[in-house]
Amino acid sequence: MSGHTMTSTRAEAVGTFTGRASRRSSLALSRAAQELDLKRGEFDLAVRLGRVRTILDEGGGGRRVTYAEIDRVRAEQGFPEALRERVETVGTRDGAALLGVTPGRFTRLARLGLVVPVNWYVNRYRAVVWLYLAEELRQFASAPENARLLTGRTPEGLRGQLEAGVDLRPRNWRGRHFGFELRQAEDPWAKAAVVASLLDPVQTAEIVRDPYERGHLDRLRPARRGQPAPDSPAAPIAARIMTAQDSDEIDWLRAELAQALIEARRHRPAPRPTPGPPDAQLTVPARSPAPCGEAVGVPGSAPLDQASAMRPEPTRPRGMLGWIRRRDT
């Protein structure tokens, strides 16, 4: 699309709509990525890092980007190269090269939480590949206080942690993920769903005892782009990374969920099924008893014997009973 056409479309949209951005004054995420000359993975990371701001789609279709935000980002100095540099990610080997250390030392620094992953994926060998922001690694390498960590022996205290098997990469990633999702949450129930998404379902059920509230939180659970399918071999690996493991982390999240639940209930109750109106009682006209030995019938139909006629008609479940039989258990 030419610059003149784009400007004209934006001016028309701004002149037509006021208040919250609508579909005609905003772009879908895939289109916004194209406008900013980013690959979709780069764009998603730019959103997570707050480099590109999104808004909630009024029509319930997820999130979108306003034309004003596209213009703001494009007007930044050095666009688009500077934006790409801010969202560039590297793996262990390239990260080690940026720090000027061996891949082994880089992995030890990451396990100790001194460099924090921003993303991850499970490769075809079912190994977790951690990704790091190149910009953050450059800053780490240039900080004078980190020089002793890049050369010579690892300090004694840190060596002890490594020997004990410490690996803070999953927990540190969860921390970043939690912060991003919390910023995107639109209301107290969505915030509570973010907290619950990091807990094991058993832990969540102990805090959220109402099944309708648990179901509502599950529907609001944030989805991660690129997450393995539930039945894939990588799913258990992903679940371990995305679920709190350490006791202190679990305790903290449980306390956060309990508080978030109080605020969500105060905001509004969780949706529940509405029982239908009770069925109207059927009025059956009284029949005169048939003479003994005489058949009872309906005009135009075959005669019925007296025993059949005197059997009570089956009744339909009414009101609450009917709803209970139909409700979702």
DSSP labels, 251-313: HHHHHHHHHHHHHHHHH-PPP-PPPPPPPPPP-PPP-PPPPTT--B--TTS--B-HHHHHSPP
- Interval 107-133 mean pLDDT: 96
CA-based nearest residue to 118, from 74, 163, 87, 155? 87
Q: Is 10 helix (H, G, I), strand (E, B) or coil?
A: helix
Confirm if 162 and 105 have CB atoms less than 8 A apart.
no
Mean pLDDT of the chain: 82
Residue 73 binned pLDDT confidence (cut-offs 50, 70, 90): very high
Residue 288 scores a pLDDT above 50: no
Residue 137 scores a pLDDT above 80: yes
Question: In this structure, what token pair is assigned to residue 189?
Answer: 């129930």
- Interval 133-152 mean pLDDT: 95
- Interval 228-255 mean pLDDT: 93
Q: Which residue has the tokens 């460099």?
A: 115
Question: In this structure, what token pair is assigned to residue 74?
Answer: 């494009």
Express each pLDDT in 19-55 by its tens digit: 345 567 899 999 999 999 999 999 999 999 999 999 9
In the chain, at which residue ranges do the beta strands (DSSP E only) sit?
26-28, 55-56, 63-66, 89-90, 119-122, 128-133
Residue 282 binned pLDDT confidence (cut-offs 50, 70, 90): very low
In the prediction, which pLDDT does 58 show?
Answer: 78
- Interval 273-279 mean pLDDT: 68
Determine the Cα–Cα distance for residues 182 and 175; give it in Å rounded to an integer: 11
Residue 306 scores a pLDDT above 50: no
- Residues β-bridged to residue 28: 64
- This prediction has a pTM of 0.75
Question: In this structure, what token pair is assigned to residue 259?
Answer: 């508080």
DSSP label at residue 176 = H
Residue 305 scores a pLDDT above 90: no
Alpha-carbon dihedral angle through residues 225, 227, 231, 233, given to the nearest 10 degrees: 150
